[in-house]
Amino acid sequence: MLTFKARLGLLDGPLAGSGELGDHRELARRAAAASLTLLENPRGTLPLQGGRVLVTGPAMDSAALQLGGWSVNWQGVGRGNVNDVPRVSTLAVALKAGAPAGVTVSALPESKRPALLTAAKQADTVIVALGEPPAAEWEANNPGLSLPAEQVTLLRDLMGTGKPVVAVLMAGRPIVLPADLRDELAALVMAYLPGSEGGAALADALYGRAGFPGRLPFTWPDTAAQAGLTADRPPEGAGEAPQPLYPLGHGLDYTTFAARGLTATASAAGVTVSAELSNTGSRAGTATFLVRAGLPPGGALQAVARPVAALQAALKAGETRRVTVTVPGERLQSWGAMCLGRAAGNPWPARTASRWGTPAPRSPCPERPLAA
C-alpha cells in the first residue's frame, strides 16, 4: 500500500494539515445524486409536490448512518476513540431547507412515539429514513439481511396510520423487509451510503428537481435464503434459479425510456456498442441501460453473462440521442478452465480441471484467458 501511494505521489510533500476539502462537496453531491435508485413508486407518491410532509427515522439526521463504516473511525462516526463528526447534509435538514412552495416539512425522532404517530395521522406523506448502524468486518455481519427489530416496528407503526409511507434505505447491501410491509409502501428508495451530501441529493430527487439515474449494482434477494443469488451465473443444482425481488440493473424514474437500434462492432480496442436512447415520458430524466456480454460455456460456477458497460444519457421529454460506448477487450475475457498449478511442496504437476470436476488429461496451465 505504501508503494502504491508513493507511485501516486501522495508521499512527495509534507502533510498540509487535515480538514474538510470544501471544493469537493459539490462533487460529493453529484456522486450521491447519480447513485440514488428508486425501487418502487406504484401510486406516484413521488415526487413530493404539496401538502404536509413528516420525516422521521434513525437515518433522517445521522452522519453515522449516511457515511457507514470505515468513515472517521473503522466502526463509523462516533464509535471507538474518535468522536469527530464531519459536517453532513442530512435528509431532515435538507427536506426542510429545500421545500418548494406548497410543501411544509416537520421532523420528529422515533423516540417520541406517541407524538410521532399523532403527527403522522395529520400528515399527507410520511418519509421514514431507515438504515443499518455503521460497522465493519465481523461486527457488520447481518445473516438475515434484516433491519434492526426496532426499525421494523417503527415502520409497522407508521404504516398503521393509513398514510402513504415512503421508505428511504441507507445501507451498503440489499435489505429484506417483511413482505406485508414492503408491498404496502407508497415508495421505496435505495440511497446506499450516500455520503456527506446525501441529504441534499435525496431532497432534490424526492422533490422532483432531479430524477433517479441510479440502477442496482447487485441482485436484490426476495428472502435471506436467496443471499448469494446473482444474475451472471447459472443456478447450482437442479431446477430453475429462483427469481430475485429486483434484478441487477433495476431502477425506476419519474419518466420512461426506450433503447432501439442496438449495434455492436468488434475492433482491436474491444467492442463498440451503440444504441438510440429515447425519453418516452413527459419529464426530463437520465436514461441508463446496462450492457451485458454473453460468455461461452466455461463451467458450472462461471459467469454466463456479465455487465460490462452502461449506455447513459440525460434526455429531455421526447428527446432521442444515439449513445456509443467502447467495451475494452479485457472486460470480455473468461477463463476456459481452472488451472491447478504446482506450488511449493505440491507433488502434483500442473493440470486442468474439466467442466464438472472430473480430472482432465494433464496439460500445462493456460497463460492467458480466453477472449469471449
CA separation for the pair 350, 356 (Å, rounded) = 18
Q: Can you give the pLDDT at residue 242?
A: 76
CA separation for the pair 357, 293 (Å, rounded) = 25
Residue given cell 463528526 in the structure block: 85
Confidence category of residue 239, pLDDT binned at 50, 70, 90: low
Ramachandran angles phi, psi of 18, nearest 5°: -125, 170
More confident residue, 364 or 196: 196
Q: Can you give the pLDDT at residue 18?
A: 55
For range 15-33, the mean pLDDT: 78
Mention every residue, 6+ apart, whose C-beta is less than 8 A from residue 346.
none
Q: Can you give the pLDDT at residue 20?
A: 58
pLDDT reading at 168 higher than 60:
yes
Mean pLDDT of the chain: 86
pTM: 0.84
By the 10 Å C-beta count (0-12 exposed, 13-18 middle, 19+ buried), 349 is classed as exposed
Q: Where are the alpha helices (DSSP H) in the chain?
A: 2-7, 25-35, 63-67, 91-97, 113-122, 149-159, 179-182, 198-207
Is residue 217 reached through a cis peptide bond, with omega within 30 degrees of 0 on the bond before it? no
Q: Can you give the pLDDT at residue 228?
A: 77
Confidence category of residue 113, pLDDT binned at 50, 70, 90: very high
Q: Can you give the pLDDT at residue 336?
A: 57
What 3-state DSSP class applies to 205? helix
Confidence category of residue 340, pLDDT binned at 50, 70, 90: very low
What 3-state DSSP class applies to 68? coil
CA separation for the pair 92, 61 (Å, rounded) = 6
For range 42-49, the mean pLDDT: 96
- Provide the pairing of β-strand 270-279 with 257-267: antiparallel
Q: Hey, which residues does 128 pair with through a beta bridge? A: 56, 167
- Where do the domains of the chain lie, and which CATH numbers do they carry? 27-137+144-226 (3.40.50.1700), 257-333 (2.60.40.10)
Q: Can you give the pLDDT at residue 127?
A: 98
By the 10 Å C-beta count (0-12 exposed, 13-18 middle, 19+ buried), 167 is classed as buried
More confident residue, 23 or 113: 113
Each residue's pLDDT tens digit, 179-238? 999 999 999 999 999 999 999 999 999 999 999 999 999 999 999 888 877 776 655 554
User: Which three three-digit cell numbers place residue 103?
Assistant: 410543501
pLDDT reading at 266 higher than 60:
yes
Confidence category of residue 277, pLDDT binned at 50, 70, 90: very high
Confidence category of residue 145, pLDDT binned at 50, 70, 90: very high
What is the residue type of 273? Answer: V
More confident residue, 242 or 273: 273
For range 62-75, the mean pLDDT: 90
How many residues are recorded in the chain? 372
Each residue's pLDDT tens digit, 8-23? 888 887 766 555 566 6
For range 293-313, the mean pLDDT: 78
Confidence category of residue 79, pLDDT binned at 50, 70, 90: confident
More confident residue, 218 or 337: 218
More confident residue, 112 or 296: 112
pLDDT reading at 370 higher than 50:
no
